[in-house]
Structure 1
């Protein structure tokens, strides 16, 4: 009886409040059903829909919120726990446009959890090709604050899922005063990067890479140290045309084996630092620019490695440089 009474009383009250919130801040939230109990600081909303202009759209099958009277603050809205299940989050990045309206009061979510959800990101600029889908099997973020929204979401989080079908994990830990996060991608196809560097990685279309990033920082300092390790697999991945004369095919088979065994994996490593403040204003972040910079660095590292192996190619005997060019000319005919 009490749960039904709660639904009858709270549904119109909450709808009226959310209508006021939308008209005053531009954050529109709707729901189909509410469940909860009086004197219980826990509420469950079903079929929730949130929209902020043409930038952000969140649709969730279920949204569970928990509050604590101990967290009450006049300066910000505090949520103890927020659980989204079956959520679809679509974000369109628009340059020089903030994600959250300035009229929205600051908020803090002590524990954010997403289960069986997905994030879809794309750029509004048609000249920037970045777009991806992140499937979240399980995601947890500690202390998500509106001021540090992006930083908290990617550095203070734990995640298991797939980035465009590629397994991805995020881990977060603390060692004394030091904060540490790890990002790992396994088997990311190189072809995901080729649109960003004008053909410089076309020869690696069928290759893949593993990426491991370790981030370290101190709570009272602005600098974040990042250690990046990359392993490119099947670096050359030599392939021959399907139809070749028997003598040429035999030679091409030998060539393919030799090249593909020559360099199967190339390890790359580099370090750099970023500032926490760089993640404060989402509107100023150039996501495509960061991917372009990474793809350019990767193509340069591979070129440097190739030049180091140039002498080895010259020493291949009957499969030397002249033969490589001869085989290319033969392949061009087929």
Structure 2
């Protein structure tokens, strides 16, 4: 007896969206996500998060380690009355004994959404091609959209009095990382002003600036790529990130020599920023390298609020990308199946 596939594989493909980069979404769509975040954060404050992910599962693929991404998605699924599965390279055969295509198709038949933190964008793209459920990019060394959603929300919570998002100027201190790239595109999409402040060798590549140019033409945003640290005086947000990553350990000393001490976020640097400027950092922070502990613990730092908002963002993501496909059974349907199964079990 062959029965139809479960509901997870019967999604209407034309309405299904993946989340690979925030640049794929309109301002209205991003506003909707942020509003949903606000509603869910209020509900969590009152210990009254509605069960909007009930009986659903998110498969969490991690090729690289994580603290905030893993904990926030797992906790978000639990708060929404769903389930999260942690899948490391030791747990599945992604791209090894099993093709990425087959992994995507199998997970789609068992789970309602796939979150993937991968080592490159090709893996993420391959998952989206064969998945019949939404794929969420948890960072792929090209984009980091879940971080961006938390970041913009944090900026909204801490905006100077009387300012809108489009009034803000955001400075990213350091290398043209995936976070820097994502921040450039998200800020210009929102009509904000963006600066990357760092040594010329580590500044944003031309191909990403061309994408930002398109955003600026549509929204009136501006960007500047500079090595002039004094430009922080024009900035409402000072954003830090590591000067090197695990794949760049051979370059560590060279990179630290290029960035330190000029581009380290210190208390003095924050005092030279625009009045009321906030310090943001996607964490983990390397103490005394890209940011000093004094600055990170200072009154202008919102890094821990920013980290907490990763949970708020993940709750919104799980709901936003699955709510259209909810198919809650009626009481009659529930009773029908319960009676059939109870009748069978009673005769065993």
- TM-score normalised according to structure 2 size: 0.24
| Greater fraction strand | 1
- TM-score normalised according to structure 1 size: 0.25
Structure of higher RCO (CA pairs closer than 8 Å, 6+ residues apart): 2
